């Protein structure tokens, strides 16, 4: 464990333990709704991680916690209907992952507390909250970076990893946040001397998306930050390896799954922060009194084994900047 990881872990523990020590009301069973545009996969982010993080705070499924999860399976137009289903189940709190899910939850209820999880989106600009300090309604939560310029940074990093790359594919989705990231990547492309090929995946048809990249002779790939893509990261990483396509992602968990590199946050840490908000609201706090948390810690992760398999030589300067190196 490197020094940065040790410090982050220590700080995470300090944030959680004050809440973990408080006992839950005897006999109370909390009903939590989770709304996401994601695709059901072998390792769904919220299905596995959120219950684990809540267990650390004293909430155990089947005892004092019921989780009602609704996934749109990449069909974004289903989100309003799924949001209504959750409100009809009389959940105590809604977790909404991604801007489209937050919008659907917000349009469905003004009374049930909503904890949003956003990456590279501004909740004030989107009209979800009045401000970060005073949300002003029934929504609060955690936002990673609150800016879309990370796509340009990732494009720069994959170009540095693969200097020969002149055509870089962008694995995109139909979400508004995806399109914003595409625009920022396009702005950076000309200065880097690369041409972007935007490939939008529909209905989890990753085989077709990667076949398009291969047909267009893409030299590398940038995956946009998206819950849809994060949920199915194992499949995406496998196809990138099959097509021998160097790729950069947003979460380090992609690299741990065999992806080449990632620049962004940690799914596990992001979910832990959400669990803390859920805990506080279950214990009586109101979203209007809970400032939206802006998570700004980023890390560069590189998988040396994957780089070797792709025949890539990593420059010493890039390797020195990595916060996590998997060998």
DSSP 3-state of 305: helix
Tens digits of per-residue pLDDT, 48-87? 788 999 999 999 999 999 999 998 887 889 999 999 999 9
Please state, in angstroms and rounded to a whole number, the distance separating the CA atoms of residues 301 and 296. 16
107 vs 295, higher pLDDT: 107
269 vs 11, higher pLDDT: 269
pTM score, two decimals? 0.74
Q: How far is CA 223 from the centre of its chain?
A: 12
Per-residue pLDDT band for 7 (boundaries 50, 70, 90) equals: very low
Per-residue pLDDT band for 174 (boundaries 50, 70, 90) equals: confident
Per-residue pLDDT band for 325 (boundaries 50, 70, 90) equals: very high
Q: How far is CA 235 from the centre of its chain?
A: 16
Question: Rounded to a whole number, what is the distance in angstroms from the first to the last CA of the chain?
Answer: 13
Task: Pull the structure tokens for residue 204.
Answer: 């989890």
Least confident of 87-96, 141-150, 214-223, 246-255: 141-150
pLDDT the model gives residue 295: 77
Task: Pull the structure tokens for residue 42.
Answer: 């072998």
Domains of the chain: 3-147+266-295 (3.40.50.2300), 150-264+299-326 (3.40.50.2300)
Using the predicted structure, report yes or no on whether residue 115 has a pLDDT greater than 80.
yes
Using the predicted structure, report yes or no on whether residue 93 has a pLDDT greater than 90.
yes
Using the predicted structure, report yes or no on whether residue 44 has a pLDDT greater than 70.
no
pLDDT the model gives residue 4: 39
Please provide the average confidence, as pLDDT, over all residues in the chain.
87
Tens digits of per-residue pLDDT, 281-324? 999 999 999 999 987 778 999 999 999 999 999 999 999 999 99
Q: How far is CA 25 from the centre of its chain?
A: 32
Residue 152 near residue 184, CB atoms below 8 Å: yes
Of 178, 151, 168, residue with least CA distance to 74: 178
Please state, in angstroms and rounded to a whole number, the distance separating the CA atoms of residues 197 and 167. 7
% residues pLDDT > 90 (the chain): 67
Least confident of 118-122, 124-128, 150-154: 118-122
Kind of pairing, strands 261-264 and 299-303?
antiparallel
Per-residue pLDDT band for 136 (boundaries 50, 70, 90) equals: very high
Per-residue pLDDT band for 146 (boundaries 50, 70, 90) equals: low
In the chain the beta strands, taken as DSSP E runs, fall at 30-36, 65-71, 93-97, 114-119, 139-144, 167-172, 195-200, 220-223, 247-249, 261-264, 293-295, 299-303, 324-326
């Amino acid at each position: 464990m490197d020094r940065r990881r040790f410090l982050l872990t220590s700080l995470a523990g300090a944030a959680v333990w004050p809440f973990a020590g408080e006992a839950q009301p005897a006999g109370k069973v909390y009903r939590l709704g989770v709304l996401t545009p994601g695709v059901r996969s072998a390792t769904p982010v919220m299905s596995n991680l959120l219950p684990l993080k809540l267990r650390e705070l004293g909430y155990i499924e089947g005892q004092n916690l019921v989780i009602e999860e609704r996934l749109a399976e990449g069909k974004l137009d289903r989100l309003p209907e799924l949001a209504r289903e959750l409100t009809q189940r009389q959940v105590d709190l809604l977790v909404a992952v991604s801007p489209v899910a937050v919008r659907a939850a917000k349009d469905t209820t003004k009374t049930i507390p909503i904890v949003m999880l956003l990456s590279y989106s501004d909740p004030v600009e989107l009209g979800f909250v009045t401000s970060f300090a005073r949300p002003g309604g029934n929504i609060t939560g955690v936002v990673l970076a609150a800016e879309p310029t990370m796509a340009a940074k990732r494009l720069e990093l994959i170009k540095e990893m693969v200097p020969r790359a002149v055509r870089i594919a962008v694995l995109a989705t139909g979400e508004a946040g995806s399109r914003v990231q595409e625009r920022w990547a396009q702005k950076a492309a000309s200065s880097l001397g690369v041409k972007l090929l935007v490939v939008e995946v529909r209905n989890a048809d990753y085989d077709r998306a990667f076949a398009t990249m291969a047909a267009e002779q893409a030299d590398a790939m940038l995956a946009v930050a998206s819950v849809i893509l994060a949920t199915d990261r194992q499949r995406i990483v496998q196809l990138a390896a099959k097509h021998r396509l160097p790729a950069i992602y947003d979460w380090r968990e992609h690299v741990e799954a065999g992806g080449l590199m990632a620049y962004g946050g940690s799914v596990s840490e992001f979910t832990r922060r959400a669990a803390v908000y859920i805990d506080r609201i279950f214990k009586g706090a109101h979203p209007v009194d809970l400032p939206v948390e802006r998570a700004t810690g980023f890390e560069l992760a590189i998988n040396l084994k994957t780089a070797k398999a792709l025949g890539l030589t990593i420059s010493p300067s890039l390797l020195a900047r990595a916060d996590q190196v998997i060998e």
